[in-house]
Amino acid sequence: MKSFNWFIVLIVSTGFFLLSACNISSSDVSESELENNSADVSMNHMPDSEACPVQLDQIPKEDLSAEEANALIFMREEEKMARDVYLTLYEKWALMPFKNIPKSEQVHMDAILTLLNRYELDDPAEGNDVGVFENDELQELYNQLVENGMKSAVDALKTGTLIEEVDIRDIQEILDKKVDNEDIKLVLSNLLRGSGHHLNAFVWNLSRRGVNYKPQVLDQDVYESILNKKN
């Protein structure tokens, strides 16, 4: 593990990015910490290849139910909502999670867009600026989350954890109750894993500030199992 950490430090310090198929999520670590090798980079650089719609061409296209169509449309905007909140909070607080995780959320959005295109569904996010949504509930949620995250840096990080909790809950519910098509299951399962990595990053950042975060949406046992996952 020590040699792996040095490898990551070397790549970050020379300006390159390891892409584990798609992207990498980073938590809040300063450049000086990385240069001094003092940060726990094994926690700070968690692979987010989970969003990649890999090998979809090898999965037969199936009939799409109305529930599946609605789920894809909703998830496209929910991933946009997460990205947009993080972009907005980065402008306020300049914390590294809000710089790096939006790149991953964009990968998540693109993965859902691949499915929308595959099933010839309209894209609800097309042409919409940051903070603009077709879904009224997501619009209201975005507004509230940004308002909460503007209060302090800690509140911003708690906002991030809440977003990832909600994302995990929603994706799991869709997988359990609304989806049969194997290509949709593949993409959503990968997004679920990616959201777990993001949740870990936000919780870790809060712990560095002395905050013992308690889950607001997820059951405690589910929350702890996500934090204990290594991949």
- Structural domain boundaries in the chain: 49-228
What percentage of the chain has pLDDT greater than the value 70?
75
CA 57, distance to chain mean position in Å, is 24
pLDDT for 230: 61
Phi, psi of 61 (to 5 degrees): -75, 130
**Are 88 and 35 spatial neighbours (Cβ–Cβ below 8 Å)?**
no
Average pLDDT of span 159-183: 97
Query: When comparing pLDDT for 14 and 165, which is higher?
Result: 165
Distances (CA, A) of 35 to 8, 30, 39, 43: 11, 9, 9, 16
pLDDT for 206: 98
Report which secondary-structure segment, H or E, holds 36: none
Residue 62 amino acid letter? E
For residue 118, pLDDT beyond 60 = yes
pTM strictly above 0.85: no
CATH of the structural domain 49-228, one choice from 3.40.50.1370, 2.40.110.10, 1.10.150.120, 1.20.1260.10:
1.20.1260.10
The most distant pair of C-alpha atoms in the chain lies apart, rounded to whole Å, by 54
The overall average pLDDT reported for the chain is 82
β-partners of residue 47 are 24
Quickly count: other Cβ atoms within 10 Å of residue 207's Cβ: 12
